Chain A
Amino acid sequence: MPSPDAAGEAERIVKICAACMYCDGLCPVFPALTGRNDDIAQLANLCHNCRACWYACQYAPPHPLAVNAPATFSRARMETYADHVWPRALRHVFVRPALGAGLMLAATLLTFALLTAMAGAPRSGPGAFYALIPWGAMATLATAALAWATLSLTVSTRRYWRTISAGLSPSPLKPALRRALSDIITLRHLDGGGPGCHDSGLPFSRRRKIFHHLMAGSMVLAVAATLAAAVFEHFLGAKPPFPLTSLPVLLGLAGGVGIVVGAAGLLAVEARMDRDPSDPGETRLNVSFLIALELVTLSGLALLVFRETPAMSPLLLAHLSLVIGFFVGLPASKAIHAPFRAAALLRAALERDVFPRKRITL
């Protein structure tokens, strides 16, 4: 008896789960359910799509109650992105994820055209990058793209937080922050209550968690590489490209390789995963983000490898364009899941301090 509209279906599922509660040990979504006016927007992002409750559900299809909690939350999650993303026009991306890939692509091509138009004559050795693209242009474009992404994601997250924190009674922030942070770092809720999540059907695995963290941790390294490069440039007077054994290059290399492997691993997991317990739109959002990230990183690594060759100048142009395009499209990509999920975890942690243990007898 599934309901055709998304909100109605989410409410139907949540009521059944609240009455059942067999999955209450699998993740924090179920203990948070009351079955009465539950905040689907919060629960949707609390769910990590580990799929444990799909394989464990006694009411999964072909049962007439047709419960599919992960797909329901996945769909509702896409709606929270669409409903809260700023600027509002970006909401269409979460209805049709192909638009998001299109946005990244368009921004990349536009940047490429712009950079090609202003590119100088290629040369090699220190300062070669800036000889091709003047530092000012590179810095302006990069800063603008980064600022845009940060602003948009911040405003979107604030809008989401306002929705889910309505009616939250004041409680101590510090322990909750600590708990939420620990949940984020350990990805505890991808564990299906202990044994791991279901990447490729019934068997438990931790592959998704490992690849996710390899990728996310490597992104941190990549950011560190950029910061190190800035320090080298402004305080040590060095000019890129830096020597292979320099800190920025080593950090960038490690980060780049980590991202390529992590994202490839996640793509392989996506390719094998059961389709039923996810919203198809969210799968597309995941896949297009991973591919974009691979392109950005691979172009960066290629630049590193071929920087002493004539391929340097097209590679630099391509890499820069991909980076800018990536950041332009970031606010309307899978990236939005990170701050939204962090917000949902924080609210869950805050709530746990208010009601330390609810117990219901079934």
Chain B
Amino acid sequence: MALRGGNARHARNFRIAHDAPLWHTPGAYPAAEFSAELAKISGDRPEETLAGALIEESAQVASWLMGCGVRLQAPDRGVLPYSRRTAFLLGGGKAMINALYATAARIGVAIAYDSEVLALTPTRDGGWEAEIATGGATRRLNARAVVLASGGPGADPAWRRAHFGGNADDILIRGSSYSNGRLMQRLVESGAQTVGDPSSCHMVAVDARGPAVDGGIVTRITAIPQGLVVDRHAGTVEIAGAAPGKSHYAQWGPRIAQCDGGLAFLILDADGVSRSLPTALAPIAAPTLETLADALALDGAALASSVAAFNQGARAIVRPPFSAFPMRAGLTFVHFGLAVDADMRVAENLFAAGMIATPNFFTRFYLAGLGLTLSAVTGRRAGEAAARALA
């Protein structure tokens, strides 16, 4: 129960189309602009109807959430970056989750914590039977309609090994360990249609000293443009074709995953550190590059030569103390899920919502705040369709 809320616990803001300033979201973000930005990451998807519904209904998400007791943050509070595309949750995703659970309990929704649906099988009357494990006990529940919102597959190590190849075990999981896609996999094995590419995912550079799962937002390393990235052999790591000094968050994750052992180091000097945003974990610091190399178990001569080459460029690593962040790839989500129609239907009386259905909308990269908006819009759609199916 303490860890309820899946990955939404780690979310901060959600994307909404709006034509005029709202108290919580300044400026305007017209549907056409949202649509154009979504088209850039959607490949040959989504079908026009799905994309249109997403954008149109995104405009209702803020007021719907507020109606469920969720609180938003006014832009003049705190130190948030200005955003006309996204609304910010007051206190973040976990505060939202707390409000939603309180509302659900109030309106009589039964909640079974610490329970896992092991399997879903169709019943003869057109419904579904769920096999549910709670602690050591297993029970079966018959439902006339089921909405599946069990998230994407990223947190399952076996799944990652099967699809990510070599360094799959060196990747850290930014979100919940429970969003493991096993139930989705069971359905796929019994014939559910999939969408997206199981080896394509969103990864960023995270601090290698962070937790193996649930690291969330704070382990992200944002200072890469301020320094030099080397691998465990102290050789320079670059992103082909990337402009130096730019962030390229989502490209650094996959790049680090390809390094030997899935490990890389960001090397900074004192000026680089002072240009960077604060980090949850302090960097490993040393008075000289040699001692820093020792602390990181890197070859000192190789590090010196990588730094010397780097210092030919616009930024130089010269002023002590020298610092380093050990980095791994941190997986946010995978571009793979179950195929649905416009009612979010996977099969008769079985609907999917949230991350598990996300690749119906986009299959490359990501737009900030899209995950929650998609989850809210698809969740409402699936719920309404399920209710209609029962009527």
Contacts and interface: CB of A to CB of B under 8 A. Distances in A.
Contact of B81 (A19, A195, A360): A360
B95 to A, nearest CB: 4
Contacts of A31: 78-79
B211 interface: yes
A23 interface: yes
Contacts of B12: 22
A15 B73 contact: no
A16 B280 contact: yes
Contacts of A21: 78-80
A322 B12 CA distance: 52
B218 interface: yes
A19 B102 CA distance: 29
Nearest to B12: A22
Contacts of A23: 91-92
Interface stretch (B2-10, B182-190, B230-238, B374-382): B2-10
Contacts of B95: 52, 55-56
A25 B279 contact: no
B52 interface: no
Contact of B91 (A19, A22, A35, A61): A22
B77 interface: yes
Interface string A193-207: 111000000110000
B278 A55 contact: no
A203 B78 CA distance: 23
**Which of B82, B102, B278 gathers the greatest number of chain A CB atoms within 10 Å?**
B278
A195 B217 CA distance: 25
A53 to B, nearest CB: 7
Interface of A is mostly: loop
A24 B77 contact: yes
Interface in B259-318: 277-282
A59 B218 contact: yes
B31 to A, nearest CB: 26
A57 B77 contact: no
A62 interface: yes
Contact of B82 (A35, A194, A359): A359
A357 B216 CA distance: 26
Contacts of B222: 362
A56 B92 contact: yes
B279 A19 contact: yes
Contacts of A194: 71, 90
A193 B82 contact: no
B218 A359 contact: no
B94 interface: yes
Contacts of B250: none
B94 A193 contact: no
Contacts of B3: 62-63
Given A15-B279, A22-B93, A360-B79, 9 more contacts: A23-B92, A25-B78, A31-B78, A62-B2, A65-B280, A192-B91, A194-B90, A359-B79, A362-B222
29 contacts: A15-B278, A15-B282, A16-B218, A20-B218, A21-B78, A24-B78, A24-B79, A24-B80, A25-B74, A25-B77, A25-B80, A26-B91, A33-B278, A35-B277, A35-B279, A36-B278, A52-B95, A56-B91, A56-B94, A57-B94, A58-B94, A59-B216, A61-B2, A65-B211, A193-B71, A202-B98, A202-B102, A203-B102, A362-B277
